[in-house]
Amino acid sequence: MDLFTSLDGYVPSDPTPENPMGTGWSQLTAAWTATRTFRRNLGDSSGSGTTGMDDRYAAAFVDGIGAEIMGAGMFGFHAFPDDDSWTGWWGERPPFGTPVYVLTHRAPRPSIVMDGGTTFHFRDTTVEEVLAEARQAAGDLDVRIGGGYGTARDFLRAGLVDDLHLMVAPVFLGRGHRLWDELAGFDAGYKISTEVAESGQIHITLTR
């Protein structure tokens, strides 16, 4: 699982159709979206983008992932709750390239095949059940918990995350969801390592 947060531990809490990830999201992800790997995964073949530590993490982000799980908000249901033709705000070619299981109370709903290998499936199940299905789909590859905030916390609380990569942007947001509230003890059994990229982005890795 990969998470973005600010130095003060906030995640944007105010997504709108115009600003789908909420205030401050572009600040949290600035170093990430500047990488060559991220740009290439969005279809930029010019070779532009940073190539340092952030880029190595971005490459690892897509490496070995066979399925993804995300919440309804990260797919975009919260912005367009009543639009059945809405295919999410990730564009025609979402940067996943795998089956993506969207946890939503709007399921059942038909799956959507997108360009670039992404298929969105919609499920209204427990985190354990959707993880079992995603594992099956991923085969020998890993399942990534994509977020957002609520889904990530549900999986952390359930102890279902083997690898957590936390990216802390060198900014203070001052408001939003508090990522760490009421997660006391979630880190038991993890080893923690920290490093800082050329961009100033802090990369924190928790592994079992």
Question: Using CB under 8 A as the criterion, which residues of the chain lie in contact with a second copy when the complex forms?
Answer: 7-10, 166, 170-172, 174-175, 178-180, 183-187, 192-196, 200-202, 204
Nearer to a second copy, 72 or 173 (CB): 173
Task: Please list, in sequence order, all residues whose beta carbon lies within 8 angstroms of the beta carbon of residue 120, skipping any fewer than 6 positions away.
Answer: 75, 87, 88, 100, 102, 111, 112, 114
Find the shortest distance in angstroms from Cβ 28 to a second copy.
14
SS3 (DSSP) at 50: strand
Whichever of 3 and 58 has its CB closer to a second copy, that residue is 3
Please, which residue, 135 or 157, has the CB nearer to a second copy?
A: 157
Count of C-beta atoms within a 10 Å radius of residue 106: 14
Tell me the closest approach of the beta carbon of residue 37 to a second copy, in angstroms.
Answer: 21
Query: Minimum distance between the CB of residue 44 and a second copy, rounded to whole angstroms?
Result: 27
Ranges assigned E (strand) in 72-188: 99-103, 112-113, 119-123, 142-147, 163-169, 177-178
Toward a second copy, which CB reaches closer, 64 or 200? 200
CB of 195 to a second copy, least distance (A): 5
The helix (H) or strand (E) run that includes residue 39 is: helix 36-41
